[in-house]
Structure 1
C-alpha cells in the first residue's frame, strides 16, 4: 500500500482525503489550522452570472457548482452545511436585464441554474423580508455552504475511516525515491505528496527549490445571530462589496472583505465592520446590523496574479501534486478540484489533462535553479 501525505486540511485537502481510495493509500493529513480560509468561511454557490472574462475559471466554477449534487450524496451533507436556497441579484433595471439575458444564455450549458425570474419589488421583499422593495433577479439554483461546518463534517468522516490527521505545521524534503514530511510530532516518508495549504504553498515549495506566484489575502465576514426565520431565505448579491448569506436558525452572514495588504493578520477590525455594513445598508428596511450581536470570521485566502486557481502534478517531480490560488471562489471550486485530483491519484493509468480548467502550472510555479 502506498503512503500519501496531504499538507493543508482546508476545503481541497480534506475533501481529497475523503475521496482517496483507502485500499490503495495509507493517508496522513497535516493541518495546523492556522489562517485557514475555509474554516472561517461561509459563502454562496452561484457562479453562473459572473462577468469574469477568464473562460477556464468559469468552466471550473460552473462544473464545481454542478458537482455539489454528487458531493451532497457522497458525504451526506446536512442542510445546515449546504442548502440550495436560490439567489437574488439586486441591481438597476438595465443591469438586471443584462443579467437575465446572461442567465438564459448560460443555462444552456448549466441547467443547474434552474428557474430564472425577474421579481417585482413586492416579490423581492417577500423572498427576503429584510430588503427594501426593489426589483431583482431570482435564480433557483443558487446555494449556500458553511465552510466551517463542512470541514468539521469531513474531518469526522476522515477520522472514522482511519485517516491520520496531525494538527501541526510540516516541512518537506525531496529524497531519491520518496518524500520526507517532518513535523514537531513525527516524520513520515511517503510515496505521494499533495500540497494544498493555501498561500503557505509558497514557503513549502521554496523548501523544494521552487517559487510560486501565490499571495495571502485577508478575508473578514460578520456573523449575526437574529430572531428572524431565515431558513427559506435566498442568498443575496447586493450591488457592492458585501453579500447577504442567511443560514438556518436566524443566522445571517455578511461578507466578505478582500484585504491584500493585511495578508496573514487575523485581527478583526472595526474598519471591516463599517465597510461591510455600510455597503448593505441602502438595501435594507432598517439598520439592524449596528443593533445586533455579531462575531467575526477571519481567514487568509490564496490568490494569484490572474486571480485564477492552479492545480495538478508538477512536471518532473514524481509524486508531487499542488493546488492553490482559489481566492474568494474556493467554496465553489475547491471540492471539485479535490475530486479531480482524487480521480487522478486513484487511477492505475494516470493522465492529467485539465487545460479546460487551468493554465499550465509553469505559469505559476518555477524552479529557482534554471538548470532544473
Structure 2
C-alpha cells in the first residue's frame, strides 16, 4: 500500500483519488472548496465525437473517456447508492442548412468504426427535431448521435467523495501546501494551480451558463442534449428546465459574479432556440475552466514527488473519470490504455 495526497477536489483530483482508494492505497484529498470550480458549474455534456478539433492526442483522451463512462457510472452508483445524473438520451446537433448537415453527418458517422459506443448516427429533418424535442425550434436540420449523454458535475463529485470514504480514503476541507503533504502528491488544483507552481503554466477562462425554466403546455419528457449553432448548447436539468451556454472570457480574475450582459446574451439565445414559449431566468452558473498549452491537458511529473494533472478545459467531465483510472494505474505500475507520455509534454 502506498500513500497519496491529492490537492484539489475537482473532477480530476476526485477521480484519481477514487481509483487509487479502491485498489487499497492510503488516500487523502484536500480541497478548499473554491467558488467557481469548473466541475460544479459545467453543463456536463458527454459527446466528444462531434468535435471538429484536430488534435489527435486530445481526441484519444476524450474518446476513451466517453467509452469508459457507462461502466464507471454503473460501478460508482452501485458502490455508493447515489445517483450521478448520468443519462444517455442522445445528442441533437443542429446545423444551418441541409448542405452543412450532410457534411457533418459524413464527418461524425466516419468515427463510428473506432467508437462503436457512440451508437447510431442519423440525420433529422426539421420536423423530426421538433418531434424529438417539442420545446425546440424547428428552424434547423440536425444530426442525431445516439450515444450522447450528460452528467451532473456536482452529483458526480458527491458520489466520488462517498466512494473515496467507503474505500477508506479521507476528504478534508482545507488548504495544504504541497511540501507539507505526505507521500506522493497529485496536484490537481485547476485554475488556482499557479499559487504554488508555474509548471505547467495554467491559464483560465470564465464561463457562464444560464439556467432557465420554460412556461409552456408541453408534457415534460426526457430530451436529448442539444448542440446548437456555434459554441451554444442546451441540456435539460429538470421538469421544463434547461441550462444554456456558454460564454468564454479569458481572464486573470477569479471573480465569479455573474455578468448582466452575458445573462442578457444567453437569454436572447434561449429565445432563438425556444421561440414558442415564455422563458423565466432562474440563475447564472459561473465556472473557471483551466487550460494548459495548446488546450491539451497536462498529465505528468513536475517534481520528484509531485504528479500534476491540469488543463482539462471544457471537456473535464468527459475526460476526468478516465484520467482517474489511467493515472491510478500508472502510479501503481499497472498497464494503462492511454500512453500518458502524450500528455507529459514538459
- TM-score w.r.t. the length of structure 2 is 0.90
Aligned to 2:45: 44
Alpha-carbon distance in structure 1 between the residues aligned to 2:28 and 2:297: 24
Structure with the bigger RCO (C-alpha within 8 Å, sep 6+) is: 2
Alpha-carbon distance in structure 1 between the residues aligned to 2:99 and 2:187: 45
1:108-129: CA deviation from partner (whole Å, max 9, x where unpaired): 1011121111111111001111
Contact 1:312 1:352 in 2 (8 A): no
Aligned to 1:4: 4
Larger mean Cα displacement after TM superposition, 223-232 or 253-262: 223-232
Aligned to 2:315: 329
Larger mean Cα displacement after TM superposition, 190-199 or 250-259: 250-259
2:60 is aligned with 1:53: no
Q: Structure 1 residue aligned with 2:164, among 158, 167, 181?
A: 158
2:291 is aligned with 1:303: yes
Where does the alignment leave 5 or more consecutive residues of structure 1 unmatched?
174-179, 182-189, 363-372
2:151 is aligned with 1:145: yes
2:107 is aligned with 1:117: no
2:299 is aligned with 1:279: no
Aligned to 2:191: 199
Q: What is the count of residue pairs matched by the alignment?
A: 338
2:226 is aligned with 1:236: yes
How far is 1:262 from its partner?
6.1
Aligned to 1:95: 100
Which has the larger Rg?
1
Contact 2:49 2:111 in 1 (8 A): yes
Contact 1:61 1:332 in 2 (8 A): yes
How far is 1:50 from its partner?
0.8
* 1:351–1:293 distance in 2 versus 1, CA, 3 Å: closer
Contact 2:329 2:335 in 1 (8 A): no
Larger mean Cα displacement after TM superposition, 2-11 or 253-262: 253-262
How far is 1:159 from its partner?
2.5
1:28-69: CA deviation from partner (whole Å, max 9, x where unpaired): 101011031102222210010211111111111111111102
Q: CA RMSD in A?
A: 2.3
How far is 1:236 from its partner?
0.5
Alpha-carbon distance in structure 2 between the residues aligned to 1:19 and 1:204: 25
- TM-score w.r.t. the length of structure 1 is 0.84
Where does the alignment leave 5 or more consecutive residues of structure 2 unmatched?
none
Larger mean Cα displacement after TM superposition, 72-81 or 14-23: 72-81
Aligned to 1:176: none
Aligned to 1:212: 200
Q: Structure 2 residue aligned with 1:313, among 301, 310, 320?
A: 301
Alpha-carbon distance in structure 2 between the residues aligned to 1:231 and 1:84: 14
* 1:312–1:230 distance in 2 versus 1, CA, 3 Å: farther
